Structure 1
Amino acid sequence: MSVGVWWASLRDARAAARLPALLDPVERARHEAIARADDQGRFLLGCALSRIALGELLGVSPAEVPLRRVCPRCGGPHGKPRLAVPHGSPFAGVDFSVTHSGDVVGVAVVHGAVVGLDVEEAGAALDVDTVAPVALSDAEFAALNAHPPAERTSAFLRVWTRKEAVLKALGVGLTVPPRRLEVSVPTRPPTVLAWPDRPTAPRDLAMADVDVVTGPGRPPAIATVAVAGATALRVHHRDGTAAVTAYAGSTPPP
């Protein structure tokens, strides 16, 4: 199974005056309603990067990509974005996942399966002692405490991105306790070891760590992609910053 992963930097898109023109009315309204500037920028960049990636796949301009957001619980326009193409379309099996952390925004696209992508900036402030007992299984927590204190934050983030990618790929998010999902330790290839709620998950889900360099002298952001409906992955990294910069300029890209 082939999955494309696009990465872009919020720092390179802050002057993106043309990007809001790529959004549809629902996205534009949500963008304008976000209070904090950085949160607004991440939402804008995630929408724009999704549209650029999907537009390339569909052969249409980003603004013409048909997307819909419907919450499965209330029917509101804030659910996971999906490609709105007719049944039987060759693109009906396309799925994508958006993630962001700090200055990093990523989009993963797959055809014929369901994808989840998660990223965490390695330098972010995090109280591991508080969050680890809630997020990790007993075995994961014991393995984390075996690391030297200086390595525990990055080790926790590695395990967490694997969990979050799986939860996204299976469409459950944090509606289930993450402690019940157990994944491999950071020094081993990513895989699901145990999940009583989804006993078949290890057999129909593939994962890959897809860390991304965020800038000179900065530690790579820790990221994982998971695909439900696959047994192996080929990951193609794409330069989303270059694509976004082209659409953010004063003239349209060629």
Structure 2
Amino acid sequence: MACAVIASVGPVTLHWAVLPSGERVAEPVQQLLAQCDETERARAGAYRRAADRYRFVLGATLVRRLGAARLGCPPARVRVRRDCPRCAGPHGPPRLADLPGLYLSVSHSGDLVVLASCPDRWVGVDVQQIPAALEPGVAALILSPGERRAGQDWDTAQLITVWCRKEAVLKCVGSGLMSPMTALTVTGPHEPARVVSGPAAPSPAGAGPVDWRAIELADLPQLPPGYRAAVATGPDRPARGERAR
């Protein structure tokens, strides 16, 4: 697995993996799967496309190797939890059971997989490969009413920039794509990344509504051509799923 820490943004460390191109396989999928637990192997097996399966496995392996480096144990022995902060189901962001103060977020698109890690703060990351064109109507699913007039002049890459910013923010607060992007307003692609406003939504910690002004948002630098990515961090909070006292 081609993997390197390529950037830090504020308190966030970014770990990247690149899918092997063509038939070149840097590490057999089965070797990576051996580092995963039964739940991860089952999820990997549910993907029909080999590339999608490989992306998921790379993301899971990045999480385990980070945990192994921190805990001094083999990746297969790292205990990973995926409790949803909203419903406690097993489909939430990854958490290291033995490092409860470290927050993680994974995203993948095209040939890239990224893991963001941040101590003591919620984190959300999103990477997107820029398509040749977006399907008609996609902009209406991304832009809030206040963004639509300016968005008429944005090209595909600029719309993807806004998409990444919004998805990173929604992942950071624990709602992912359960909340519509159209309810969230961020700055335009020519401006520094910032949350302008968001919907009334409960905090993942259960301590009142999300304070959108406290979310820090940044575009990620040093990406390969044809990609956009963003990372969002929240304020210091109790661990996901725990109630504030």
TM-score by length of 2: 0.79
Whole-Å separation in 2 of the counterparts to 1:221 and 1:195: 25
Q: 1:7 to 1:124 in 2, by over 3 A?
A: farther
Selected match of 2:198 from 188, 195, 198: 195
- Note the C-alpha offset of 1:133: 1.2
Whole-Å separation in 1 of the counterparts to 2:210 and 2:60: 32
Maintained 8 Å contact 1:26/1:77: no
- Note the C-alpha offset of 1:14: 3.7
Maintained 8 Å contact 2:93/2:106: no
Matched AA of 1:10: L
Q: 1:124 to 1:107 in 2, by over 3 A?
A: farther
Q: What is the SS of the residue equivalent to 2:168?
A: helix
Maintained 8 Å contact 1:116/1:167: yes
- Note the C-alpha offset of 1:172: 0.7
1:210 is matched with: 220
Gap runs ≥5 in structure 2: 1-9, 202-208, 237-245
Whole-Å separation in 2 of the counterparts to 1:207 and 1:73: 22
2:176 is matched with: 173
Superposed, 1:26-175 pairs within 5 Å as 26-71=39-84, 77-85=90-98, 91-123=99-131, 125-127=133-135, 129-147=136-154, 152-175=155-178
Paired residues, number: 216
Q: Would you say 1:25 and 2:38 are equivalent positions?
A: yes
Q: What is the SS of the residue equivalent to 1:11?
A: coil
Maintained 8 Å contact 1:31/1:43: yes
1:10 is matched with: 19
Matched AA of 1:204: A
- Note the C-alpha offset of 1:64: 2.1
Q: 1:78 to 1:130 in 2, by over 3 A?
A: same
Q: What is the SS of the residue equivalent to 2:231?
A: strand
Whole-Å separation in 2 of the counterparts to 1:201 and 1:74: 20
Maintained 8 Å contact 2:105/2:116: yes
Report % sequence identity: 42
Once the two structures are overlaid, the 10-residue window that deviates more, 24-33 or 5-14, is: 5-14
Q: What is the SS of the residue equivalent to 2:61?
A: helix
Maintained 8 Å contact 1:8/1:106: yes
* Segments of 4+ moved more than 4 angstroms: 71-76
Whole-Å separation in 2 of the counterparts to 1:227 and 1:185: 19
Whole-Å separation in 1 of the counterparts to 2:198 and 2:84: 26
Whole-Å separation in 1 of the counterparts to 2:172 and 2:85: 16
Whole-Å separation in 2 of the counterparts to 1:126 and 1:146: 14
Q: 1:74 to 1:94 in 2, by over 3 A?
A: closer
Gap runs ≥5 in structure 1: 86-90, 231-254
